[in-house]
Amino acid sequence: MPYVSERLPLRRALADVSVPPFTRRRGRMLLAVSEQASKEVTDQVERFLTPSDDPQILIPRERPTGYALGIDVGGTGVKAALVDLATGRLASDQVSEDTPRPATPDAVIDTISSIVDRAIGSDEPRDLRAGCGLPGVVKHGRLMTAANIDKEWIEFPVEQVLTDRLGRPVLALNDADAAGVAELAYGEAEGKGGTVILLTIGTGVGTALFIDGHLVPNTELGHLEMYGQDAETLVSGVSRERRGLDWEQWAKEFNDYLAMIERYFWPDLIILGGGVSKGFSRYGSYLRTRAPLVTARLLNTAGIVGAALAGAMAARTTQRA
């Protein structure tokens, strides 16, 4: 049974909600509330918040039905497929191409458009929603950082350009957030409350942070400072190869990175995704964490599936508004 401590907006919200029993402890009022009442409280408290104009990335508590298009743009490859939202499985072939070099917005958008045509053809209805994961911070439909793709992407209005080019509504989100959404809805984090952190270790280090099933978008913990450097340049998959580290040497440094994440966030579950997670048997025994650490269940498809689900859910909230 959840407890809610008294705060000013809450007190006003609670004025309309009568939920016995009240318990007074050392001058602080604690409320024991039923699930229904707790939802009423949440709904009412939300009315006191000024909504962000960023599209919300929502994760449904129950799997929705229907289909959506998922696109995953990484530093190395661009992939797309149709996703069955009821199961989180791909409903078309996954089509992929290498990320063009240089990875300018024009070149990447041409690649996306060509693989989407090949993945879903021209028969899919125009209202089929889409989501696109990108390797950087996404705010208000624009990519704001570009660690592993061309700097021309910074502030590029990717959501609008893709919506126009693909002729269907597209939600843009961070690639690690997309992978995290997939693991939360269909994978290792399904039904998990508390603090869950997903790390994607590939070209870069991406992170997705969830608190009781809610995403805190764009966490960018791959760029925490470690040994005086950007952690990604030490422990990403590409950095391991560039530095010629064997798995044991890499795991030793990666343990320091994980320890830092645990020191700051105290996660209840850590999920490892991205290209490096596939080789877990070669280094898993060297890793040490306080929280349980598991590999992502969706592996290769997580970015596509999470982007598709987030795109579909964003559309539903817009329709309701």
Say which residue the tokens 């009022």 belong to.
Answer: 29
DSSP 46-60: HTTSPPPSSPP----
What letters, b where the CB count within 10 A reaches 16 and e where it falls short, cover 52-88?
Answer: eeebebbbeeeeeeebbbbbbbbbbbbbbbbbbbeeb
- 72 is an interface residue for ligand BGC by CB under 6 A: no
Alpha helices of 138-246 — where are they, by DSSP H? Answer: 158-166, 175-186, 232-235, 237-242
Q: Which of 70, 141, 180, 206 binds ligand BGC (CB under 6 A)?
A: 206
Using CB under 6 A, which of 92, 99, 111, 145 touches ligand BGC?
145
Q: Is residue 38 part of the contact set for ligand BGC (CB under 6 A)?
A: no
277 touching ligand BGC, by CB under 6 A: no
Told to check if 175 binds ligand BGC by CB under 6 A, we report yes
> Please, are residues 232 and 260 in contact by the beta-carbon 8 Å criterion?
no
Residue 239 contacts ligand BGC per CB under 6 A? no
Applying the rule CB under 6 A, the residues between 82 and 141 that interact with ligand BGC are: 135-137
Told to check if 273 binds ligand BGC by CB under 6 A, we report: no
Contact 133, 72 (CB under 8 A): yes
Question: Which stretch, 18-26, 97-105, 145-153, 187-195, contacts ligand BGC (CB under 6 A)?
Answer: 145-153
Rule CB under 6 A: say whether 147 interacts with ligand BGC. Answer: yes
Structure tokens at 60: 């449904």
CA gap 84, 205 in Å, rounded: 28
| SS3 (DSSP) at 160 | helix
Please report whether residue 219 would count as binding ligand BGC according to CB under 6 A.
Answer: no
Among 180, 222, 306, 311, binds ligand BGC (CB under 6 A): 222
What is the nearest approach in angstroms of ligand BGC to the Cβ of residue 137?
Answer: 6
Q: Which of 232, 239, 254, 295 binds ligand BGC (CB under 6 A)?
A: 232
Interface residue with ligand BGC, options 38, 92, 99, 148 (CB under 6 A):
148
**CA distance readout (Å), 99 to 109, 112, 150, 154, 203:** 10, 10, 11, 17, 12
Residue ranges binding ligand BGC (CB under 6 A): 74-75, 135-137, 145, 147-148, 174-176, 200, 204, 206, 220, 222, 232
